[in-house]
Structure 1
Amino acid sequence: MTRILKTFISAAALTLGLSASANAYQPTPDVYVVFFEADWCGPCKIVEPRLTEALQNLRDPMIEFVPIDISGGKGDLNAHAVFDRGIVQQYNMWMGVTGFAAIIDGDTKRTMGCVNMTYDAKAMAMHIRNLQNAARNNQQSFDLTCPEPNNI
């Protein structure tokens, strides 16, 4: 009975746009900041500390950081991360492309824009906040900073 109840509550939470943790339900974030990285990626070593600083400065619980590490042996973690958040399209589009973070609307799952090594931490924070505000207001973004999709 407990298993059935937990399954029902989890399904209800997903229907309502909530994500379930052990005992608490959290609303869907405004945006996901999805960082595509790999151990061997040179630009990642520039982007990662800047992105960390930007997110620490924003300190916003409605911005969720999602690392996607395509280094060997991380497939299960990546699968859970993308399926749980409904961002499979972006994962498939950029699988194998690294060194940037995509900002994805938490509700619509649209890619709002990206940040890469051309941004310093302050510019990243400002860009993420602007895209978050556009997502909250259900506005389109005409950001051209995202890389081309992979050709796999």
Structure 2
Amino acid sequence: MSDATADLPALPVTFRPGRTRAVLLTAAVVLFVTITAVALLLERLSPAERLSFVVTAALLDSVLLLLARPRIVADESGVTVVNLTRTRRLEWAEILRVNLRTGDPWVFLDLSDGTSLPALGIQPGIAKQRAIADAKALRALAEARSTAEPGT
């Protein structure tokens, strides 16, 4: 094994914004418990009104859970990018470049079809250094596993 491949993370590996996810999941639990408790403690509410509180809490939680969904899963055959509402499977050869430039909200993958795919699983928001390390690891994996000739 060469020095370049010795630094690569073991596959499969999942990249996700851990702190952001923890904040969102904690907020979802607190929000649901608080709104449900308020609905149960207000004595003048009818059962239908109490139910509407709980349903509203569930809808708000679904948005927070959706925001906590993004991840990037790299395995031997390629990468699965899970964003808010879409999932896309890519072969290693399809990824030409992994970009995380200053000011970018997340990683962008330059693809062989000429498009760029946002990959929300690596976000520098709360944990900037972790996002930079994850982007470098994904870039190293893409370069090591790509079948494209260097410089193309």
TM superposition score normalised by structure 1: 0.27
> Greater relative contact order: 1 or 2 (C-alpha under 8 angstroms, separation 6 or more)?
1
TM-score normalised per structure 2: 0.27
